[in-house]
Structure formats: C-alpha cells, structure tokens
Amino acid sequence: MGQAVLILIKPDGLKKSLTGNILTRLSETKLEIVAAKMVRVSKELAQEHYKHLKDKPFFGEIIKYLQGDFHDRKKVMALVYWGNDAITKCRELAGATNPEEAESTSIRGSYGRITTSGVYENVVHVSSNVPEAEREIKLWFTPDEIIVDLYATKDVVKKELSCKIWADK
Ligand code: TYD
C-alpha cells in the first residue's frame, strides 16, 4: 500500500556534504519524491517536531541540534517520499537511532556519531509510523508544496495576508 514518510537531512548531514549520498541511498528504495525544500528551523518547529520527547533529558540538546546550533548550518533539507512500505524501507536504510547500534552499512551507521555530551548526531530523521508521518508532513509542508494529494484539504480565502514577493515584480 502507498505510504508517505518525512525525511529530514539534519544539519550534520548537510555540513558533512552527505546530501547527494543520502539521496542516492534513498533512491535504492524506488520510492517517489513528492516534496522537497530547505528549511530554516525555528525553535517552535523543532519543539513541535520532537514534542513526544519533551520530558527526556536530551530534549534541549536535540532542539539545538535540529536548529543547527552545533554545525553552523542553520538549515535542514525536508523531503516527502511516497510509495509501497515507504516507512519501513526508509527506516531500514537509515538504521537504528543510536549510530553505534545502527547497521554499519546504514546511513546512520556509516555517518552518525555520539557527541561527548551524549547527543546522537544521526544525520537523518525518518518518520516512525503512519500517524507520525502524517503529523510530521502536515507540520513541515503545506498542501501546495506536495505534488500529490496525500491528505484531505479544504479551500479557504485568506484576506490581508502579508507575504514577501520579488522587489522587481
Ligand atoms: P527518537 O524519535 O526516539 O528516534 P528516531 O529519530 O530514530 O525516530 O529520537 C529523536 C532524536 O533524538 C534521535 O534522532 C536522536 C536523539 N536522541 C538522543 O540524542 N539520545 C537518545 O537517547 C535518544 C533516544 C534519541
């Protein structure tokens, strides 16, 4: 059955120039990329993304990590992959959460590390199950940014919405 999954290439993955490598590994799955963008991660977005971990002792550190505080890369690459068993396939390629326990040929096993302060810098995020994938995709993307219809949408008219446009247009 078709499934959607959120992938984040985290700031360490970007700093280590692993983007191409990770996308190549993910292409082995034959899944389809249906959305992709670079994101400057606000504290609110990071906290909402990891809200299930808010009581963990490492919560503050992983918020800083996702925001890029440890890698002078204030950005992540966010993608949505779609296809059969997308979550299982991508989580298998990513490997275990703890890079030292991850299969050595997996993305996290190959490129992740545990910092001296104990944070797992594990290069990628992959949604863990179907409801989490839906929650995360709706958090990171608007319907217009995804080229297929994944979830129900509704039309609203937004009045007096201010947004940036190119100065010469
Ligand atoms: P979690 O959602 O449990 O794992 P996953 O990303 O594999 O779904 O954890 C979120 C992130 O928190 C994880 O990618 C790395 C970090 N983390 C630690 O730094 N230390 C820990 O003990 C755990 C469990 C996670």
**Per-residue model confidence (pLDDT) at position 72:** 86
Based on DSSP, count helices (H) and strands (E) in the chain, helices before strands.
7, 6
Largest CA distance in the chain: 53
- Does the CB atom of residue 128 touch ligand 1 within 6 A? yes
Domain spanning 3-145: CATH superfamily: Nucleoside diphosphate kinase-like domain (3.30.70.141)
Spacing, Cα 120 to ligand 1 middle (Å): 7
The pLDDT of residue 144 is: 96
* Tens-digit pLDDT profile for residues 117-135: 899 999 999 999 999 999 9
Q: Is 81 helix (H, G, I), strand (E, B) or coil?
A: strand
Buried b / exposed e over 117-136, threshold 16 CB at 10 Å, is eebbbbbbbbbeeeeebebb
Q: Give the global pTM.
A: 0.96
Nearest CA to ligand 1 atom 4: 97
Choosing from 49, 52, 71, 125, the catalytic residue is 125
Q: What is the pLDDT of residue 28?
A: 94
Active site residue 125: yes
* Residue 11 pLDDT: 98
State which residues of the chain have pLDDT below 50.
Answer: none
What is the reported pLDDT for 161? 87
